[in-house]
Amino acid sequence: MRFVPDYPLGDVNPQAAAVATRPDILHALVKASCVALLLLALIGLAAGWLIAGRVLRPLQDITRAARQAAGGSLDHRVGLAGPRDEFTELSDTFDIMLARLQQSFDAQQRFAANASHELRTPLAVSRTMLDVAAADPDGQDYRRLVSRLRETNQRGIDITDALLRLSALDHVPPAMEPLDLADTARDVVDTVREEAGARGVTVCADIHPVPATGNGVLLRQLVLNLLHNAVRHNLPTGGSLTLTSGPDPARPGRALLTVTNTGPPLSDTVDRLTEPFLRGSGRLAEQDRTRRGHGLGLTIAAGIVRAHHGDLTLTANPGGGLTAQVSLPGAA
């Protein structure tokens, strides 16, 4: 407006009336600007409300799922569809977190139920034997009764000790030192050969020197648990197991230990074999006392591997049996 002269404007024809003055033009411009700004404000509010609602809708879905999870419902998933952006990545990450939490809570519930059953069984058996002895004290073989009570009591003690070791692995970091994993493997193979021979299981060892970093006592327990599992869950007759050790070809600088055994097909429970009190044929112990265990062998093995910052991979063999691979950090 500063370029508009401050006097009446007129046509080149002297007889024409004056067109407008500077105040007239300014008044018209202010009026038109106010109308335009009002329209733009209304359009901006409406468009902003629509755009904000569309943009924030994924956050509302995630918030709703978080509230349901906080209320104890972990089976709900956001499942956000659409183009890949920050919201879909957040939604997928949240769904993965919910899935892992649900698996963890389900595993804890199964652990509590199974642990209660496992610890209750020795107590119930002991009480039954004592009740029978109290009902007929003269007709009892007390030497045999004491032996059975001692055996049952020892089973409860073994379960409790295994649970304590499992708890310590997750809370107390083990002392690490450089060692040769091959020495530990050879020692454990010699330990289990007698039991394997008694069960008719052939042991094959292909052990190569491989430096690793870890706790010697825990690594020996790890290899022992894997071999005991391979021997006790093998074929009734004519089974075999193979133990190999050496550098990890897929991950240079790491040590690899592999235990492969024959046995019944395992397809549905492989992913859960590291859960407490789960055995190859289910949770319950087998009737054969020579093959009975507490169902904590692979659980403790997984805890030892986790304490050593390693990886434990369980794979069902196509013809039956299991292959366990342990990858551990190499020696510094």
Instruction: Decide which of 2 and 239 is more confident.
Output: 239
Tell me the per-residue pLDDT of 137-172, one tens digit each, with 9 for 90 and over.
888 888 888 888 888 888 788 777 767 776 777 667
CB 225 within 8 Å of CB 301 = yes
pLDDT at residue 72 is higher than 70: yes
Query: Could you give the C-alpha distances from 79 to 61, 84, 88, 177, in angstroms and in order?
Result: 9, 13, 8, 46
Q: What mean pLDDT is reported for the chain?
A: 81
- The pLDDT score that the predictor gives to residue 155 is 76
pLDDT classification of 301: cutoffs 50, 70, 90: confident
Average pLDDT over residues 190-198: 87
pLDDT at residue 293 is higher than 60: no
- The pLDDT score that the predictor gives to residue 284 is 42
What is the percent of the chain with per-residue pLDDT over 70, rounded to a whole number?
Answer: 86
pLDDT at residue 238 is higher than 80: yes
Q: Is the dihedral of CA 107, 109, 114, 119 positive or negative?
A: positive
pLDDT classification of 252: cutoffs 50, 70, 90: confident
Tell me the per-residue pLDDT of 280-291, one tens digit each, with 9 for 90 and over.
554 444 445 444
Cα–Cα distance for residue pair 262/238, rounded to 1 Å: 9
Average pLDDT over residues 171-190: 86
pLDDT at residue 97 is higher than 80: yes
What is the percent of the chain with per-residue pLDDT over 90, rounded to a whole number?
Answer: 16
Cα–Cα distance for residue pair 90/86, rounded to 1 Å: 6
How many CA atoms does the CB half-sphere of 35 hold within 13 Å? 5
Average pLDDT over residues 121-139: 84
Instruction: Decide which of 172 and 304 is more confident.
Output: 304
- The pLDDT score that the predictor gives to residue 95 is 86
